[in-house]
Structure 1
């Protein structure tokens, strides 16, 4: 009801510009808290996890390879999966098992 009163046009004129701005800011705030904020939080958690990788961790890559870390450099992780060793980028590690 309050929004309708704010949006009501005085004597056939245009809508209240302050009310229109308040609605725009409201929609921006809703999108921020529903979409952008959780995504940033998830990105920070992933970056922290990738930063704290160490030799011997059992990991899964984004592509589905599961194995144990045997060697680390700044950007490349060597994973032993079965009898093979695979080199992947650090950022492609999906989770630590």
Structure 2
């Protein structure tokens, strides 16, 4: 790092670094926090009968809900017990074919 020039404020030498941190916050950290908040709200609002997709790509319908887990029914009436954290989205936004 270079020494501040004669008459230049030490704050002015740190201004580019401060600007980089501010830009990084608004374009990287803040949107990620917003997505996490929306996903937590979605998981808290799950109810029996909702169609969901897990992080592993398993499609199913919620049969039972517990505090941290749920039972989902998949193709062929198989039931899986999964953690709520594994649910990534519902199927209402997927186009019907």
Q: If the length of structure 1 is used for normalisation, what is the TM-score?
A: 0.83
Tell me whether 1:91 sits opposite 2:81 in the alignment. Answer: no
Q: Which residue of 1 aligns with 2:95?
A: none
Instruction: Name stretches of at least 5 consecutive residues in structure 1 with no aligned partner.
Output: 1-7
RMSD over aligned Cα, in angstroms?
Answer: 1.6
Greater radius of gyration (CA) = 1
Deviation at 1:23, TM superposition (A): 1.7
- CA distance in structure 2 between the partners assigned to 1:41 and 1:66 by the alignment: 25
Unmatched 5+ residue regions in structure 2? 92-97
Secondary structure, aligned partner of 1:86: strand
- How many positions carry a matched residue from both structures? 87
Partner of 2:58: 65
Quote the residue 1:78 is aligned against.
71
Give the SS at the match of 1:10. Answer: coil
Q: Which runs of 4 or more aligned residues in structure 1 lie more than 4 Å from their structure 2 counterparts after TM superposition?
A: none
